[in-house]
């Protein structure tokens, strides 16, 4: 039942490690490409947007761009949706942050020194050491910025991972074996209550994604939270009554049988909520 998330730096071989862990466990490997395919199902515009927005520190303009917020919401939904299937290895996409409250998720970090990673890039692309260092410096900066803006976290914080492994100091088979050895303990932490928590996270992310990908009723500050009985919508809303009605109908349709409570602030007199 365990879920494995693997965060990594470029040049650490983490993708091959993640694939090997999935093969060893008989789990499904969820990569960037598979998540992008899911996102592209939302329309023809998304392939170009995904290529532009993924894994890089957003510019000031992009931080306030509707497509950036919508992209992050879709990534979040895809991670939760795949995690609900259980027995998956999810590579990147902030899975360790999104699943931090799920006790049967194993959150792994793969790192290595710049020297070790540089040698990998030199061998892979036939470039010199200086070029490899430049690539790694830019990649680390972009990914760190992406994580900071998307999840408001510091990429290097060890507290955000269950285990951090150095691929420059350990062999490939040893790394895979160490990750696999942690799975029984995580399996033992699976409970129906914990799975229900994940279902609520997926539902909240689904409702949010449905709203923010419909740009006509976009709310930049939108938060969707499941309080255990209803889905709560929060944020500062400057929509017309017609758009608000569309928003609530969209939320209700996405939530199914779960009730919606709006705590959206509309600037009404005395701070009334809608």
Shared domain check, 258 and 142: no
Shared domain check, 169 and 84: yes
Determine the pLDDT at residue 219.
80
Is residue 202 in some structural domain? no
> How many CB atoms lie under 10 A from the CB of residue 218?
16
Shared domain check, 95 and 221: no
Determine the pLDDT at residue 274.
36
In this predicted model, what pLDDT tens digit does every residue of 27-60 receive, in sequence order?
A: 999 988 888 888 877 766 666 666 665 655 556 5
More confident position, 94 or 270:
94
Determine the pLDDT at residue 213.
86
pLDDT range class, residue 148, cuts 50, 70, 90: confident
The alpha carbon of residue 140 and the mean position of all alpha carbons in its chain are separated, in whole angstroms, by 17
Residues of the chain above pLDDT 70, percent: 88
Supply the range of the domain harboring residue 228: 214-271
- What is the distance between the alpha carbons of residues 167 and 164, in angstroms, rounded to a whole number? 10
Shared domain check, 243 and 165: no
What domain count does the chain have? Answer: 2
Shared domain check, 261 and 159: no
Shared domain check, 220 and 105: no
Is residue 183 in some structural domain? yes
Where is the domain boundary, 172, 187, 202? 187
Query: For 64, how many CA atoms within 13 A lie in the half-sphere containing its CB?
Result: 2
Residues of the chain above pLDDT 90, percent: 53
Shared domain check, 38 and 124: yes
Is residue 223 in some structural domain? yes
Is residue 192 in some structural domain? no
CATH of residue 252's domain is: 3.30.70
Mean pLDDT calculated for residue range 63-86: 85
Shared domain check, 265 and 167: no
Is residue 175 in some structural domain? yes
Is residue 201 in some structural domain? no
- Smallest CA-to-CA distance from 231 within 258, 198, 205, 213 is with 258
Whole-model pTM: value is: 0.85
């Amino acid at each position: 039942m365990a879920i494995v998330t693997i965060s990594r730096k470029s040049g650490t071989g983490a993708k091959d490690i993640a694939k090997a862990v999935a093969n060893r466990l008989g789990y499904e490997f969820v990569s960037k490409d598979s998540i992008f395919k899911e996102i592209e199902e939302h329309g023809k515009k998304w392939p170009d947007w995904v290529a532009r927005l993924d894994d890089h520190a957003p510019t000031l303009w992009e931080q306030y761009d509707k497509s950036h917020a919508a992209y992050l919401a879709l990534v979040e939904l895809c991670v939760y949706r795949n995690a609900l299937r259980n027995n998956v290895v999810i590579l990147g996409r902030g899975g360790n942050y999104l699943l931090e409250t799920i006790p049967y998720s194993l959150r792994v970090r793969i790192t290595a020194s710049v020297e070790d990673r540089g040698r990998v890039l030199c061998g892979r692309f036939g470039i010199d050491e200086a070029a490899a260092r430049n690539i790694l410096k830019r990649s680390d900066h972009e990914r760190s910025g992406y994580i900071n803006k998307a999840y408001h976290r510091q990429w290097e914080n060890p507290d955000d991972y269950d285990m951090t492994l150095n691929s420059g100091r350990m062999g490939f088979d040893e790394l895979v074996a160490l990750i696999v050895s942690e799975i029984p303990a995580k399996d033992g932490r699976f409970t129906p209550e914990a799975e229900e928590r994940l279902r609520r996270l997926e539902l909240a992310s689904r409702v949010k994604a449905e709203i923010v990908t419909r740009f006509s009723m976009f709310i930049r500050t939108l938060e969707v939270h499941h309080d255990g009985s209803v889905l709560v919508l929060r944020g500062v809303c400057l929509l017309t009554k017609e758009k608000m009605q569309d928003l609530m109908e969209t939320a209700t349709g996405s939530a199914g049988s779960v009730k919606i409570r709006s705590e959206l602030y509309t600037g009404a007199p005395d701070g009334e909520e809608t």
